[in-house]
Structure 1
Amino acid sequence: MAFPVTLIDLAGAIALLLWGTRMVQTGIQRAFGPGLRAFLGTALRNRVRALLAGIGVTAILQSSTATGLMTAGFAAGGLVDLVPALAVMLGANVGTTLIVQVLSFDVAAFSPVLILVGVLMFRRDSSTPTHDLGRVFIGLGLMLLALHQLLHLMTDYEDTPSLRLLLGAISTTPLLAVLLGAGVTWAVHSSVAVVLLIMSLASKGALPPNAAFALVLGANLGTAINPVLEGAAGNDLGAKRLPVGNLLTRVVGVAVGLALLEPIGRLLVTLEPDNARAVANFHTAFNVIIALVFLPLLTPYAALLKRWLPERVDPADPSRPLYLDAAARETPIVALGAATREALRLVDVLEEMLAGARSAMANGDRRVIAETKRRDDVLDRLNTAIKAYLTSLDPDELGDNENKRLAAILNFAMNLEQAGDVVTRNLLPHASKRLKRGLAFSEAEEAELVAMIDRLSANLKTAASVLMTDDGPTARLLADEKIAFREAESQATVLHVDQMRTGRPEAAQAGALYLDLLSDIKLINSHIVAAAAYPVLERSGELLQSRIANQQPGAPGPA
């Protein structure tokens, strides 16, 4: 009965370790997730800054998956090149090793204190960051408690013949150890927990150093498998470049590490006699070396990935969601990142609709008008899928920051869908009316219409950037664009009145239609501004309730 009891005790300690790790990750994500996401967005300027940002954000979040998904969202939106995105992932892999380094020291005595402090903080108002930080302290305490339990289990049962037989099979075949480490990490979705478990086994001599190092190699491989598999169902090969690129760096590193396992093992054991510390040092050194080797090679490596994985050309069903992963709903910041990536697809569809409207007004092609109208169905279905996904998230798992982010994504999706409705129901019918009636605009009017639609497309890209970064100055620039559209409509109104006075019916009809088109374009821009700029400005207190000058305090605003 000793061995079955040992397995139950071992499984319970591992489960406690996994739960503690999850509490740390979710607590940090709730307390600091949006801020870290904004910081990451501003740091993606060059590969060195991106590498450091990846280390810092992942060291805090303790989830390279969350960091990777945020980065993939920036990359999917075209807001960051593949090179700094890959640099972030190199940094993220280093960042996950830092908590392993801390816990490799004998800090188990702090477990009761951390849990006590965490419970006291957690029992306070659930809407405050104190509640979320309390969750972090409880998770750290549980992790230390689980590691303490694992050490005791290894002390009591390290000589159990059945356990020795199981671990002996792993020890004699490094490749088997790599595959086992990768499989376990893929199953539990946490390389941190797996490496800490390996440290516990190695510290009591249940695993020889080389077998422990091979398992660590497998853990590093397994943590890169999940992002690739989660995106396997998508049609856009370009969106898979980042997870596939990260996985390939892991594969190369594991292959080299496995080939050099014997000399590396001898060196580390000589430098660090404590097996647990040796495992932690190997884990950190592996990721640091990979980062240093691949960082200078990212430009040709990114070009190779782009050649292997081209952008989506013609997906079978463009209205089918690509990034709304059901499994991600367990972690709010990851789920919100997935919804953000899906929302960016609305930008692509609306941009195609604007291009179609521009072509229809220039050439009067009925086929272009029909195709542009069909794209509105894509907007509607994607918007419905995003709303259903976000509303399916457990409200109890969402903090204040997550609720604000969820509202911002919903607002963005609904406004872009409404902008698409304006294109379909107003702008395109007016273009068709011009074609049927044979109305002609002046060269200046034609140029103005084209310029305003091009400006809409530029504002749409800016809105995507604001959604990803929550950048206040950019949001103000986007909001100021309403002035240009309002002035263009005002000037067109004055010209139309002058045309009416000339008494020429053709000129009056063309002027009225021109004014309608400008009004439609202005309304589309209003939805774009409301989609991204207004939520940011409202949170910072920069959005006025009314444009009426000298409004008396307490007086009601406009209806």
Structure 2
Amino acid sequence: MIFELVGGLGIFLLGMKNMSDGMQAVAGNSLRRLIGAVTNHRLFATFVGVLVTCVVQSSSITTVMVVGFVNSGVMQLTQAAGVIMGANIGTTITGWILVLKIGKYGLPLLGVAAFGYLFSRSDRWRYWAMFAMGIGMIFFGLEVMKDACSIIKEIPDFEAWFAKFNADTYWGVMKCALVGCVLTTMVQSSSATLGITISLATQGVISYPTAAALILGENIGTTITALLASLGATTNARRASYFHVIFNLMGVMWITCIFGWYIDFIQRMLLNINGVDVNSAVMVNGVATYPHTVAAIAATHTVFNVANTLLFMPFLNPIVRLLERVVPSRGFKEKPRLTDLDIRILETPLLAIEQSRKEILKMGDGCQKMLVWLLELMHADEPDKKLGDRLKQRERVLDSVQDEVTEFVTGLLAGNVSHAVAEECRLQLRVADEYESISDYVVDLDKFDRKLRRDGFRFTESQRVDLGHLNQSVRDYVEAVHDALRSENHNVLNSTEASSKRIRDEVKSLRRKHLEELSAGTIPPVVSVAFMASLNAYIRVRDHARNVAETLVTEK
């Protein structure tokens, strides 16, 4: 019995993971856009939480992800609270999947999908097959657990022990909820507890009210994952995890007070909809089973979480303000890193790659600012030490950001990621390197000017005007490429080709003009060297920006 129960649970959990991974791969881009669109509007944030959790098939993944986003500053606490409430509703989809009466077809579904997974050449079809494999494993694992639980009724000692947990009194409900909470905390998965609960209930080992009370306890137990994820995180991330605990704990407290009426309501609702009594037995091989409890358990879970969300929705802002007062901010900088990257997100590759993309976009913004500062420094009559130091500091920051992005993306590649995510990781590493190289050349351009000033020279008025025009052209080109990267415009090479050629022609023209001025013998050699080096640096900036544009074409 123990071997079957453990084996069935393992297959069930592996099926949940395969189904989640398959759905994430298929719906990845939509999921990324959805998370990026979260606003402070509580209803929309809740809707996003529902959809994301339905895709990833785990409220724990969603809440840990939310804690990571809050920790990195990508998401505000109010937004996170809305997504967490939605995650509680989304996780109930697992129960409704199990309502489908395809239990005996789980094994053949697993087999057929496995052939599709092994022999399909298309990545998309392979992930759909993985999703189908996951569903097959879920139902097969559930059937194995049901068989194991049916043995319990043949062992009087076991049956007597389970009989102690009966939700016929208030304290009985609380005791069952505590068991569900502890079990979920131990296995770190509310889906696992749900599978065990359904197996016990359908075999008649526990009653429907007892199963319902266990499900309520799971809502509290699942909060431990977010709490663990918030350890060592920023204050706002800890507030988000505390909100999850308060939301679920308060919900269970009020529902247990009306538990008897609530259970009667669910039973009457299902009787009116399906015309089926939850407690009616169905004989299978001479043994009484209770298959209708699956729908009752799913309805219990969903109705409770929807009602709890609707109840908490008007009080969302006051609760957030209370958490801000009870959990005060620390009096020092909480993030030792320069980027907003958070390793908690690595468990969800499609969202992790989106977070690293945002950091690379920040690198591009920094390069554009450096080009603006460079022009100000060159035209200044006196050296601006403060702005010059800011330019050098920004270059050092971009170096460190590239290191952090590389570390994060390499960690992502080390996991089990899809071909599409792996390819995007490699492209992101290339783009980060290109932007860091641009920042190096911008600093070199400033060095040429500063060295001339130290030696008592400066670019001529004509050279400063020419370099100013060239700086503007290069800056416009870098900005166009960066905007294309932000909007994922794969036609960027064609749309910016004219600008790229103009910069190259402009540099050639300036070189010819410079050689003519040299022939007149009016330019000191040190100024000539610095000017030619500046032209080379600007053309290298253009080349690196063009490499960024090429990555967009490669992504296509």
Shorter-chain TM range is 0.7 to 0.9
Residue in 1 that maps onto 2:224: 225
Moved more, 178-187 or 63-72: 63-72
1:214 aligns with 213
Partner of 1:134: 129
**Structure 1 residues 34-433: aligned runs within 5 Å:** 34-40=28-34, 44=38, 48=43, 51-65=46-60, 86-125=81-120, 127-158=122-153, 160-162=156-158, 164-165=160-161, 168=164, 172=171, 174-175=173-174, 177-234=176-233, 236-238=234-236, 245-272=243-270, 273-274=277-278, 275-295=293-313, 314-315=333-334, 317-318=336-337, 323-325=342-344, 334-342=348-356, 344-345=358-359, 347-348=361-362, 362=377, 363-365=384-386, 367-369=389-391, 371-393=393-415, 397-424=416-443, 426-430=444-448, 432-433=450-451
User: Equivalents in 1 of 2:335, 2:267: separation in Å?
Assistant: 55
Paired residues of 2:431 and 2:551 also in contact (CA < 8 A):
no
The answer (yes or no) to whether the contact 1:238–1:311 under 8 Å persists in 2 is no
Aligned residue type for 2:29: G
Q: CA deviation at 1:147?
A: 1.9
CA shift in 2, pair 1:186/1:211, >3 Å: same
Provide the C-alpha distance between the structure 1 equivalents of 2:126 and 2:550, rounded to a whole number of angstroms: 29
Unaligned runs of 5+ in 1: 1-5, 541-559
Offset of residue 18 of structure 1: 1.2
Secondary structure in 1 matching 2:125: helix
8 Å CA contact 1:496–1:508 kept in 2: the answer is: no
Cα distance in 2, alignment partners of residues 453 and 241 from structure 1: 45
Distance 2:163 2:496 in 1: 66
The offset of 1:386, in angstroms, is 2.8
Q: Deviations over 1:130-152 (max 9, x none)?
A: 33333322322222122223333
Amino acid at match of 1:154: C
Give the distance between the partners of 1:180 and 1:447, measured in 2 at CA: 72
Give 2:303's aligned amino acid.
Answer: A
Give the secondary-structure state (helix, strand or coil) at the position aligned to 2:343: coil
1:377-427 CA deviation, whole Å, 9 max, x = no partner? 42353144135313423xxx4443333333333334433443444455x24
**Secondary structure of 1:122 counterpart:** helix
Q: What does the per-residue CA deviation read over 1:475-533, in whole Å, with 9 as the maximum and x for residues that have no partner?
A: 657985786687578668868977985989689998997897787577557646755x5
Mapped contact 2:107–2:136 kept (Cα < 8 A):
yes
In structure 2, list runs of 5 or more residues that go unmatched: 271-276, 279-292, 378-383
- Distance in 2 separating the partners of 1:306 and 1:482: 51
Q: Note if contact 2:12-2:141 (Cα within 8 Å) is conserved in structure 1.
A: yes
Deviates more, 1:450-459 or 1:113-122: 450-459
Residue 123 of structure 1: SS of its match in structure 2?
A: helix
Q: 1:380 to 1:410 in 2, by over 3 A?
A: closer
Distance 1:98 1:201 in 2: 20
Question: How far apart are the structure 2 equivalents of 1:339 and 1:294?
Answer: 33
2:14 is matched with 19
Give the AA of the match of 1:135. Answer: M
TM-score (norm 2): 0.72
In 2, Cα distance between the equivalents of 1:457 and 1:423? 12
Which position in structure 2 is the counterpart of 1:557?
none
Of stretches 113-122 and 515-524 in structure 1, the one that deviates more from structure 2 is 515-524
CA RMSD of aligned residues (A): 4.9
Offset of 1:444 from its aligned partner? Answer: 8.3
Task: Report the TM-score when normalising by structure 1.
Answer: 0.72
Tell me: CA distance 1:227–1:128, structure 2 relative to 1, closer, same or farther (3 Å): same
Instruction: Quote the Cα distance in structure 2 between the aligned partners of 1:75 and 1:339.
Output: 17
* Residue in 2 that maps onto 1:29: 24
Aligned length: 517
- Contact in 2 for aligned 1:336/1:405 (Cα 8 Å): no
| 8 A Cα contact 1:181 1:217, kept in partner | yes
The residue identity in structure 1 corresponding to 2:433 is M
State the distance in 2 between where 1:303 and 1:483 align: 53
Amino acid at match of 2:156: T
User: Partner amino acid for 1:200?
Assistant: S
CA distance in 1, matches of 2:361, 2:330: 16
Structure number with greater Rg is 2
User: 1:207 aligns to what SS in structure 2?
Assistant: coil
Paired with 1:124 and 1:57, the residues of 2 have a C-alpha distance of 29
Aligned equivalents of 1:222 and 1:535: distance in 2? Answer: 45
Deviations, residues 288-318 of structure 1 (Å, cap 9, x unaligned)? 2244345566566667777868699735642
Q: Residue 439 of structure 1 contacts residue 506 of structure 1 at CA under 8 Å; is this kept in 2?
A: no
Counterpart residue type for residue 232 of structure 1 = L
Residue type of the alignment partner of 2:400: V
CA distance in 1: counterparts of 2:472 and 2:506, whole angstroms: 15
CA drift at 1:284: 0.7
Deviation per CA, 1:327-358: give whole Å up to 9, x if none: x76x6xx1453354345445556756765776
How much does 1:108 deviate? 1.5
Cα distance in 2 for partners of 1:79, 1:483 equals: 36
